[in-house]
Structures are given as structure tokens and as C-alpha cells.
Amino acid sequence: MPPDQETIAEQVFTALSDPTRRAILSALAEAGPATATDLANRLPITRQAIAKHLGLLTEAGLVRAEPGERRRVRYHLHSAPMRVAQQFLAALARDWDGPLSALKDHLDRDLGTS
């Protein structure tokens, strides 16, 4: 995987490691674009904390900020970085499938002969 794609995957995994950020992404996926205030009203966290998490999600490319009316910023999901992370995981799975299959076959043979 090219270095910039690995960096993107790392940022996505870092962003997803926090349950509050996962809740924010889930809220945006479920109800669509929202402001930090909207999200604070839906989640058990302060608006200031939401804003901090939205900053990290924006840096990771998982959300995009779009100016709205009355200077209210609305946040939208952006899925491209998630696809990069999925490709990273798929590549790892391919690398593991062969050795894991060989281990299973070996264990099946050993258990079958005892």
C-alpha cells in the first residue's frame, strides 16, 4: 500500500478508536448533515467536546465542514478515507488467509490422527 494510503488508513483507525467519534459518525450516518450543536443535543456530550472530536474527524477526512446559514457549520460524512482503510484491511486479510488455512489444515490432520 502506498505510504499516503497507509497514512490515511492510520488516521481513520485512530479516529475510529474513540467511542464518541464513532457515535458522532453514526449520528451523521443516521440523520444526515448536522451542526456541532445538533450533535450535542443528540449525544450525551458537550458541544465543546463535540467540536474537538469533529476537528479530529475532519483531519482524518471522515467528515467535511460546510458553511451554512448564520455562520453555522454543518458536518457531512465523507466516505473516501473509510474505503482506503477497508482496502488496507482487505490486503491484510489476504496475507493472513494462506497461513491461517495452512494452520487449520495442519491442526485438522493432527487432531484427526490422534
Q: What's the pLDDT tens digit per position in 17-54? A: 999 999 999 999 999 999 999 999 999 999 999 999 99
What average pLDDT does range 68-91 have in this prediction? 87
pLDDT 10s digits, 4-21: 888 898 999 999 999 999
DSSP 34: B
Sign of the torsion angle spanned by Cα atoms 42, 35, 56, 50: negative
Kindly report the CA angle at 54 between 58 and 85, in degrees rounded to 5? Answer: 50
pLDDT for 105 beyond 90: no
Q: How far apart are the C-alpha atoms of 57 and 63, rounded to whole Å?
A: 6
| 89 compared with 64, residue with greater pLDDT | 64
pTM more than 0.85: no
**Higher-pLDDT residue of 113, 53:** 53
Which band of pLDDT confidence, cut at 50, 70 and 90, is reported for residue 92? confident
* 3-state class percentages of the chain: helix first, strand second, coil last, to nearest 5: 75, 10, 15
Q: What angle do helix axes 3-16 and 47-59 make, rounded to 10 degrees?
A: 160
Nine-digit cell at 34? 448536522
Q: How far apart are the first and last CA of the chain?
A: 43
The overall average pLDDT reported for the chain is: 87
| Contacts for 47 with CB less than 8 Å, ≥ 6 apart | 36, 37, 40
C-alpha cell of residue 69: 446559514
d(CA 8, CA 52): 19
